[in-house]
């Protein structure tokens, strides 16, 4: 018996959406959904671009280091400000040393090593949790006026 899955598998609730990321072709549709959420909360083009850039970096890490996973996009509010929260969840090997991984210039691959610290600078809130052998969860929030 074969199971056929759509390229982008989503589950939507009121202002929350879960997207399964299993291959490189899932990246662009994810970016588009994140942009849609930014537009919906009234985010400027500049802030949308920062959010989408951060999303691109983290989803590529999810694929490369975590072997794929799940991304949750949410519209959030904090008093009078609205924003978008994106959570990246994988069941990969985890990050052995978060402190080192958050340093500019550090890389485990053949990249510039700007991924995690660069992403943190693009958003208003950044949270990372990892456990060796049990994966990594990164949550970012970009506020409409931030």
Say if residues 70 and 18 touch (Cβ distance below 8 Å).
yes
Domain spans in the chain, listed from the N-terminal domain onward: 10-143
Fold of the domain built from segment(s) 10-143:
Heat Shock Protein 90 (3.30.565)
- pLDDT at residue number 10: 44
Per residue of the chain (146 residues), what is the pLDDT tens digit? 333 333 444 434 458 899 999 999 999 999 999 999 999 999 999 999 999 999 999 999 999 999 999 999 999 988 888 999 999 999 999 988 888 888 877 666 655 445 889 899 999 999 999 999 999 999 999 999 87
- pLDDT at residue number 81: 86
- pLDDT at residue number 110: 54
Say if residues 26 and 8 touch (Cβ distance below 8 Å).
yes
Q: Which of 25, 16, 83, 35 is nearest to 59 (CA)?
A: 25
Q: How far apart are CA 29 and CA 71, in angstroms?
A: 12
């Amino acid at each position: 018996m074969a199971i056929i899955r759509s390229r982008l598998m989503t589950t939507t609730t009121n202002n929350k959406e879960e997207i399964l990321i299993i291959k490189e072709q899932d990246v662009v549709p994810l970016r588009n959904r994140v942009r849609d959420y930014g537009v919906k909360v009234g985010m400027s083009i500049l802030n949308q671009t920062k959010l989408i850039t951060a999303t691109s970096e983290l989803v590529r890490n999810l694929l490369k280091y975590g072997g794929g996973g799940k991304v949750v996009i949410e519209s959030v509010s904090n008093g009078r400000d609205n924003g978008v929260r994106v959570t990246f969840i994988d069941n990969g090997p985890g990050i052995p040393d978060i402190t080192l991984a958050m340093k500019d210039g550090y890389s485990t691959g053949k990249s510039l090593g700007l991924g995690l610290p660069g992403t943190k600078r693009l958003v208003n809130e950044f949270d990372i949790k990892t456990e060796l052998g049990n994966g990594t969860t990164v949550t970012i929030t970009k506020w409409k006026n931030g």
